[in-house]
Structure 1
Amino acid sequence: MPEATRPTATGRTAAGRTAPGPPPAGPDAGTATSWRVRLPHTTAAVPIARALIRTALTDTAPGTDDRPDTDTAELLTAELVANAVEHTAGTGPIELVVELLPAPGGCQIEVHDSRPARPGDLVCPDPAVGVDPWQEHGRGLLLLRALSSDCGHRPTEQGKAVWFTLPGIPTQRRRRAD
């Protein structure tokens, strides 16, 4: 069962650091709200993480303008959680940190795991090297780079955190199904 901490409204991530990118501008910019959830180190963590992201981005602030695209957030979160389950020793939980960013909106999502090694290549791939369409693996970080507005990784005391940010989408540009 996932274990969660209460949302914070401090302008900092649940990990206690300032979110990447420029700080909120002016007093009307608001503060960020964040959650930290411990997930089991099994494949069951992937659908749990997807459901948590959907809830965090839709149910917690249904009237909020400039929310990120929930489908993209779910997809990228599922990729990071699946990578953490597959590529780390199953000795500890995986942590999911979700931060709703203040104006102009958007979110930052982090997945923490116990392996300190880099998560592959988070820089743009060489365009001369093609992607093998028959491979079952190897597209998660490509999706992360292509669909997020920013992404990266950083060391933590227990291993590493891999993160991405998504911009807010103005209400008038959001799909009607949302």
Structure 2
Amino acid sequence: MVIKEGLRPGGRSARVQASVHSAVHELLEVHARSSVTVPMIAARAGVTPSTIYRRWGDLGALLADVALARMRPDSEPADTGSLRGDLRAWAEQYLDEMNSEPGRMMMRDVQCSQTPGYCVSILSAQLQAIVDRYPADTAPSVDRLINLLAAPTVFRILFSNTPLTVAELHALIELALKA
């Protein structure tokens, strides 16, 4: 059960979430993921294990919540002045981030999320911000961009021996831009 919506922002709930998320990040920097436990996280965060179980349900859900929080972008996608340039900048950054060890771990953790579709909503919002900059008749749909850019990127990272190359990514962008 990922964080319940409607909790007071800035209240005790937000402080607990921030403390627990911080504890998870700190522990994963020094311990193998398989050795991190709820009691370790609780001790580091200054809460009881029952607080974590009550709020997140289990370790998998907590790790998924931390991964989803990490996925939220800090800023708008780069504005290069052209649709092609914006898509290239976004897709190259996405490939780089997801192909890193933290990115791979995040994708594994997100699979445990009890909020299916949340990742797509994050990516959709980023891509919609790019699409909205350009005339509707020239920009592909966000669904097309998810299907032709994000999906193959994630698939190759998770299930292939090698991720997409930048050249392959650029070819997919060209395909996405075709009417």
**TM-score, normalised via structure 1 length:** 0.33
Looking at CA atoms only, which structure, 1 or 2, has the larger radius of gyration? Answer: 2
Higher strand share: 1
Higher helix share: 2
Q: Which has the higher contact order (CA 8 A, sep 6+)?
A: 1
